[in-house]
Amino acid sequence: HPVSSPDRAFSYLRGWPGIALCSTFANKAPLMSEKFPILVTGGAGYIGSHAVLALRDAGWPVVVIDNLVTGFRWAVPEGVGFVEADIGDADAVSAALTAHRIGAIMHFAGSVVVPESVENPLKYYRNNTANSRTLLEAAVTCGVRHFIFSSTAATYGIAETVPVREDSPKRPINPYGMSKLMTEFMLADVAAAHPINYCALRYFNVAGADPQQRTGQSTAGATHLIKVAVEAATGKRDHVTIFGTDFATPDGTGVRDYIHVSDLAAAHVHALEKLIADPASSHTMNCGYGKGFSVSEVLDAVDRATNLKIERRFEGRRAGDPDALIADNSKILATLPWRPQRDNLDQMVQDALAWERVLAERGK
Ligand code: UDP
């Protein structure tokens, strides 16, 4: 009975053999023939499209579901299934799970702009919380066994300690962080009640682009520092504003833990393999490098990459910006074989810059 026969491969979706099958492979990456299709929500967006590449590079069949509100159809590579639908559409999600015999979901789809969440909280509670509930219900109903969720360091609010550990108090200071934390709560309850396990990855500041420039951050109206700075470096903006110079940090500007998007994508593939190898356990883990750079240091790196000096202007702090936010990443390092490969600010900036030039060539 060949391992790749449909019966065995898809028995995974029908009940008991799935767990037995997975535990057989404890502590080993699944063989090619055991790789079932993964649904990537938001796979046409920034981080999701990098995860699609990482999954494909690791040999996983991938199907993307995306409503293309902020994502791009071109960001989904050839050979990857694509469903244009909103994850709040229960029928569309269930149809995709069934038709593609999905075994695991990576859930990136959502809204991510903090100030917008303050202006329009119900958009965030719909897109990030209510739609995640719909997706989770479909996942449970259709027998999906593993769920990986894009969470955020914004769940901590003003961190009591730097670096911040996963068990630190979660006191979000904006609806964005709260909408993600509510989904973490749902996941814990659902995993306790149903045969599904999950990994919630709390991202710190994600930056950079695929080093092969197959994808990158492409949505207009960016607010994140490195994206804004490389837009200035390529002439799309004429300056960068530094928000606050009176933080309790060595140079007075805000300090963040910037993680390369390709390292983050790789962490998702490791998380998937961990969930399969150990179906009785779920995990919540910080994704960062454990060190911080100030706004001034980031802008210095961009100046170094271009040999130019971007004009820096100064304004007061943005509402709700903490002085410093740095991950304690000891948990992910202890739990997964993941190791940072691109833990280098200059490289991260160069990759972001290279992608910005690709966009400029395309007239974007
Ligand atoms: N920042 C800045 N100018 C900008 C964008 C961001 O000075 O145009 C600062 C911001 O105050 C924070 C850091 O850069 O200290 C990272 O902000 P970003 O918006 O990239 O991510 P956040 O940490 O808010 O999620």
Q: Sign of torsion, CA 327 330 336 338? A: positive
Residue 226 CA to ligand 1 centre (angstroms):
8
The answer to whether the CB of 232 is under 6 A from ligand 1 is no
Ligand 1 atom closest to the Cα of residue 227 is: 20
Which residue in 16, 50, 3, 62 sits closest to 216, CA to CA?
Answer: 50
Q: What is the spatial distance between Cα 206 and Cα 268, in angstroms, rounded to a whole number?
A: 14
The answer to whether the CB of 303 is under 6 A from ligand 1 is no
pTM across the whole model: 0.92
pLDDT tens digits in sequence order for the chain, 364 residues long: 333 333 333 334 433 333 333 333 444 566 656 899 999 999 999 999 999 999 999 999 999 999 999 999 999 999 999 999 999 999 999 999 999 999 999 999 999 988 899 999 999 999 999 999 999 999 999 999 999 999 999 999 999 899 999 999 999 999 999 999 999 999 999 999 999 999 999 999 999 999 999 999 999 989 999 999 999 999 999 999 999 999 999 999 999 999 999 999 999 999 999 999 999 999 999 999 999 999 999 999 999 999 999 999 999 998 878 899 999 999 999 999 999 999 999 999 999 999 999 999 998 8
The answer to whether the CB of 254 is under 6 A from ligand 1 is yes
Q: What is the spatial distance between Cα 193 and Cα 196, in angstroms, rounded to a whole number?
A: 8
The answer to whether the CB of 318 is under 6 A from ligand 1 is yes
Pocket residue to mutate for ligand 1, from 118, 162, 243, most atoms within 8 A of Cβ: 243
| Exposure letters 84-123 (e unless 16+ CB within 10 A, then b) | ebbbbbbebbbebbeebbbbbbbbbbbbbbbebbeeeeee
Task: Name the residue at shortest CA distance from atom 19 of ligand 1.
Answer: 224
3-state class of 316 per DSSP? coil
The answer to whether the CB of 315 is under 6 A from ligand 1 is no
Active site residue 156: no
Residue 167 CA to ligand 1 centre (angstroms):
25
By the 8 A CB rule, do 240 and 28 touch?
no
Residue 224 CA to ligand 1 centre (angstroms):
6
The answer to whether the CB of 242 is under 6 A from ligand 1 is yes
Q: What is the pLDDT of residues 341-352, one digit of tens each?
A: 999 999 999 999
Catalytic residue of the set 12, 124, 156, 176: 176
